[in-house]
């Protein structure tokens, strides 16, 4: 736990926030949206095809949305080798941070309100009072 904390702090120290300008900020917003949508689609659709109701499929998709240490390690390697600049590096680190922060907020305020999906012993789904196949 100590080394992981030191690692993430060191990644943040390397990030130069002065590199953020309007174009980098727009890139960050687009990158974050694409990162979330691709995980929701890429994990939510297979969950739906696997028999989960729509709400539970979205929960699976959003649960996979946070991008963590792998994205930051790849970004750091790209920065060190001169493949990407400081602005892109900051965008990738901030995207990882934002996707990690957004997921629990979405869970708390969207998914865990209202009724839950239920499944009978045959796998039939009853989601929010409506039968799904």
Which tens digit of pLDDT belongs to each residue from 59-115? Answer: 899 999 888 778 888 999 999 999 999 999 999 999 998 999 998 888 888 777 666
- What pTM was estimated for this model as a whole? 0.77
User: 14: domain range?
Assistant: 2-132
Q: Could you tell me the two tokens for 12?
A: 């943040």
The total number of structural domains that make up the chain: 1
| pLDDT at residue 133, as a whole number | 45
pLDDT level of residue 131 (50, 70, 90 thresholds): very low
Q: Could you tell me the two tokens for 4?
A: 């992981």
Which tens digit of pLDDT belongs to each residue from 8-41? Answer: 788 878 888 888 899 999 999 999 999 999 999 9
115 in Cβ contact with 128 (< 8 Å): yes
CA distances from 85 to 22, 52, 62, 113 (A): 15, 42, 29, 42
């Amino acid at each position: 736990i100590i080394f992981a904390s030191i690692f993430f702090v060191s990644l943040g120290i390397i990030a130069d926030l002065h590199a953020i300008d309007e174009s980098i900020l727009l890139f960050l917003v687009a990158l974050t949206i694409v990162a979330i949508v691709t995980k929701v689609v890429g994990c939510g659709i297979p969950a739906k095809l696997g028999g989960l109701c729509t709400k539970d499929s979205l929960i699976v998709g959003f649960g996979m949305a946070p991008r963590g240490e792998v994205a930051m390690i790849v970004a750091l390697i790209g920065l060190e080798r001169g493949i990407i600049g400081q602005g892109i590096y900051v965008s990738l680190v901030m995207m990882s941070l934002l996707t990690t922060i957004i997921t629990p907020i979405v869970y708390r305020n969207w998914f865990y309100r209202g009724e839950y999906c239920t499944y009978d012993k045959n796998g039939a789904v009853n989601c929010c009072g409506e039968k799904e196949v």
